[in-house]
Structure 1
């Protein structure tokens, strides 16, 4: 009776995460085309027909591009908060009323044998939120798309066994890169994205003495590299007294290749 997951895709080109127990199969976001998400599922030998629903974090296209397509094709319920529904309705196409469900910020819903808690983050969307998943004494925390990590967010995600955690950009690469200043300012702002350094500092506050796996997610294609994100977070955690590679293990995610289906 284990809690398992795969980061199907993560990055500015599209995001989707699959979470399952023996009794439930959920998709968090669908920010790629329906065809690409189906191909991602093939990598982990799961059919979208087996899904019990789609949870939506916020209305940005890299999180909802395939939501409507998959929901209609496989008759899947969609769960999102009221403000996100209002913001994405015209973007995902018509959804039958019987497939539309509200999941508000700060709410905990039980899907069969899986408890899911939502929590708000700081991002330039209508009402962005992410989730923790608990089953059988194990906890998965998913948090990307936030400009900073508050004490409240740290408290909600604490004690997780596995984290899917934003490490969006290297600040020097971003500052010296080709983006116009207004985009750089947005990314660096409180409603933008967490940098590699800030990811490491936040995780150092969240982690406890128990072992943890960390999947570094939502890396910028233009302002980051997997090796750089991993090295920066590794160094930051080591400076804070964590043994990376033993007590804490770091993993990459990819915009096109799913991670192996893993136990939380």
Structure 2
């Protein structure tokens, strides 16, 4: 048994398809299939059930999978630790961001990160909150950028910045004539929200539960950009984080964005990483740059 075969097994477990697992592992399908069979023979147990169009794990395979992930994660930590001895601010870091942060934060910080950390390669991924935390804990990513709070189980947590919410209104709304609005102004409006799984949905509901405003039962969007289009079409109102309400993301055709009067509702965006991570120095450097960028 070797690490390569465990990687093939994990890839197959993730994709449940020999062809896709082979593509992900950069080998041919017959090679991957043969190595999985070799691993099963070595262990003396069947790990997967081979079906015509789908692969499923056996009970034994399902129990072995988290152990295989842990072994691969710890082997990567060993390699990373050795590399960090030479230059802790070099190498690759996998970073996950939630969809309501990534597209709006990255344009503000990517150039600064490249300039100040030229030897650090950031691999950027987008996940909803729960999948992001799962990827973090299993070692697929080293750093997560998401809305706080999150459960601290085995994680380091650092706040990066706070952003207020803004109201997105149809341009024909009487509220669009105001320079700022109060939460009470939204009473009776039709509230448009993201689908389940987005933490922004829960945050918006928490804010709007303070007043008598009801969620639309007809529409749930998959992205903030879809929400904008729905508001512009006159279907209701929504709440946007500050970064998503700035510049080109702000008011547009059929849509007006207005700040809330103080004290305005807000959310805190933070960084999370495993306490056992060997990339702490690089992670802290990335966090420092994001924080100072948002403070300026």
**Could you state the TM-score of these two structures normalised by the residue count of structure 1?**
0.25
**Could you state the TM-score of these two structures normalised by the residue count of structure 2?**
0.23
Instruction: Name the larger-Rg structure.
Output: 2
